[in-house]
Amino acid sequence: MTDTENFEEPEVPKTKTKKPRKPMSEERKAQLREQLKAAREKSNEVRAKKKLAKKIDRQEEEQALDQKIAKKILDKNPMEEEITNLKLEIKSLKESGGNNAEIKELREELNMFKKGLKEQIEKAKEQQKKVQFKEPEKKIEVDIKEEKKDVSTPVVEVAPTPPKFKKIYCSRRGFIQVPV
């Protein structure tokens, strides 16, 4: 056997060529455009519904928060009793066919009480926000003369506690300190 017989040339894999697409007809293109247009409209509707649902949820959360604040901070507001009494009085006047001028006056008074209650709720909200987002107080340095300094009460400054460390053995560095 000769050397040429043992070694065969490796086969080169043939690369497959892609088949070209069939040309799309104008009718099919128009049909696809219409489908795309309909799909976009549908997705816009779905997005609008979700946006509206989120907005409604936020409003409900705000109303619940308002009621919670009113209940917690204002407890039982005397205006609420006045409002309910005025509503009952207006209702009884309507049923009995009372004077329209008197009903108008009662409604104006009712609206005034409602505005007052709303203002109180808004103030309570602002106070709640101030409590949540309280800015750090600025330290004011005051020069105190030695003569006016009170000697009877010594001022003790407490040093911050140093951080605690733990010794750990490291194969490359030996013992190292790591904060706990």
Where is mean pLDDT largest: 37-41, 91-95, 98-102, 175-179?
37-41
Give the 3-state secondary structure of residue 177: strand
Inform me whether the pLDDT recorded for 47 exceeds 90.
Answer: yes
Instruction: Confirm whether pTM is higher than 0.75.
Output: no
3-state helix, strand, coil in the chain (%, to 5): 60, 5, 35
Inform me whether the pLDDT recorded for 3 exceeds 70.
Answer: no
Q: What is the pLDDT of residues 4-24, one digit of tens each?
A: 556 666 677 778 888 888 999
What percentage of the chain carries pLDDT values higher than 70?
70
Where is mean pLDDT largest: 72-76, 107-111, 137-141, 157-161?
107-111
CA atoms within 13 A on the CB side of 155: 4
Q: What is the pLDDT of residues 61-93, one digit of tens each?
A: 988 888 887 777 666 556 667 777 777 777 787
Query: What whole-number distance in Å separates Cα of residue 83 and Cα of residue 9?
Result: 102
Q: What is the pLDDT of residues 100-116, one digit of tens each?
A: 777 777 778 778 877 77
Query: Which pair of tokens denotes residue 15?
Result: 């690369």
pLDDT at position 31 is 97
Residue 93 and residue 103 in contact, taking contact as beta carbons nearer than 8 Å: yes
Query: What whole-number distance in Å separates Cα of residue 124 and Cα of residue 130?
Result: 10
Residue 117 and residue 77 in contact, taking contact as beta carbons nearer than 8 Å: yes
